Structure 1
Amino acid sequence: MPDGEFRATWPVLGTWTILDEGEVTGQHVVYTQPGVIEHYLETGTFPDGAVLIKELLEAEADEYSTGTAAYATDVTGWFVMVKDKQARFDGNDLWGLGWGWAYFDVDDRQTTTTSDYRFECKTCHVPAKQTDWIFIEGYPVLHTD
């Protein structure tokens, strides 16, 4: 898991607000390395080796002069995906479908808790199968219109 400097040096692809029965319960901020966005805009694909980090944060909502607003608070973990166009890790349960998949808990940044992407990651990404398993609709910087 990269150190926290990615927040200051990597571009943000987008932010997701998580709701539970209409209440804001979290925010997910997705980062990638410099150059990945430009490559995607030129080719419509993520370059080999591209890293996407989805930082999971708790969130709170409050009333402000502009209305009710939610804001992120404590980090709870990170989902990390690494583009693998060459299928380098065939047979490894963390690599498949053109990506490496892992989750890192806030209490241990060094060891993934993921053991098999097919059951722990892929199931959530099935709706994004047609867009290389990535929910690109949530990333405005990947759209030129």
Structure 2
Amino acid sequence: MTNLEKKTVKTWFNMKAFVLAGLSLCAVTIGAAAYVGHGDNSETYIGEATYEKLISAKGDIRVPKNFRTDYVMLGSWSVAGDADTGGEVGLHIVYSTREAVDAYRKTGEFPDGTIIVKELFSGHTEFLTTGEATRADKLAGYFVMIKDGKGRFAENPLWGEGWGWAFFGADNTEKTQSTNYQEDCMACHEPARKTDFIYTDAYPVLKK
């Protein structure tokens, strides 16, 4: 190989190394941006991370931080005579993580560690130029469900049927008001047993 040929080969390898280094830097930068985009207080967990970060060793559930901005909105409900809003019209807005949504769209099942958050609002109804309309008004509370495919907390009355269940008042996102999922939650969710106790027909984002 001539000196010219050796220089050409060396130049080619140097250029290749430079390009690969640039691509690696871009990948790291994009990944970091995606993480930072959720914010430092993001709690978009799935799998074991949910149990390590959001659930106590005894199975105590709390409301995840920043779910309004970091989670995907699955859908909403208008509920007449809502028990949580003193018999007034209630609006329920339901969220879950992007990871859980993507997994459900692929498999038709919620993976272990899925977090579902429902915000409950009283409704404010008024007549606008478009007609009678109801919007979310005062926050009434939160309802949180955590998918448990392993039966981790068999002795805890807030866990069963493959889920953890907890309702929180609007003023306390750390301590649930629920005491027993069978008494507090199943009356509403039993009709959705065939779809893993989630009313999936109400959530268009879960459909392909």
- For the aligned pair, the TM-score class normalised by the smaller chain equals over 0.9
Partner of 2:70: 9
Compare the two structures and name the one with the higher helix fraction.
2
Deviations 1:33-71 (A, max 9, x none): 121111101000001000000100011111222221111
Q: What is the alpha-carbon distance in structure 1 between the residues aligned to residue 202 and residue 112 of structure 2?
A: 21
Quote how far apart the aligned CAs of 1:24 are: 6.7
Contact 1:81 / 1:100 at 8 angstroms: preserved in 2?
A: yes
Partner of 2:190: 126
Compare the two structures and name the one with the higher strand fraction.
1
Structure whose CA Rg is larger? 2
Contact 1:24 / 1:70 at 8 angstroms: preserved in 2?
A: no
Is it true that 1:136 corresponds to 2:162 in the alignment? no
Q: With structure 1 as the length reference, what TM-score do the two structures score? A: 0.92
Q: What is the alpha-carbon distance in structure 2 between the residues aligned to residue 90 and residue 64 of structure 1?
A: 51
SS of the residue corresponding to residue 68 of structure 2 reads helix
Q: What is the alpha-carbon distance in structure 1 between the residues aligned to residue 166 and residue 93 of structure 2?
A: 16
Partner of 2:92: 28
Letter in 2 for 1:135: Y
Sequence identity percentage: 40
SS of the residue corresponding to residue 58 of structure 1 reads strand
SS of the residue corresponding to residue 165 of structure 2 reads strand
- Uncovered stretches (5+) of structure 1, i.e. residues with no partner: none
- Uncovered stretches (5+) of structure 2, i.e. residues with no partner: 1-62, 82-86
Letter in 2 for 1:34: R
Quote how far apart the aligned CAs of 1:82 are: 0.1
Q: With structure 2 as the length reference, what TM-score do the two structures score? A: 0.65
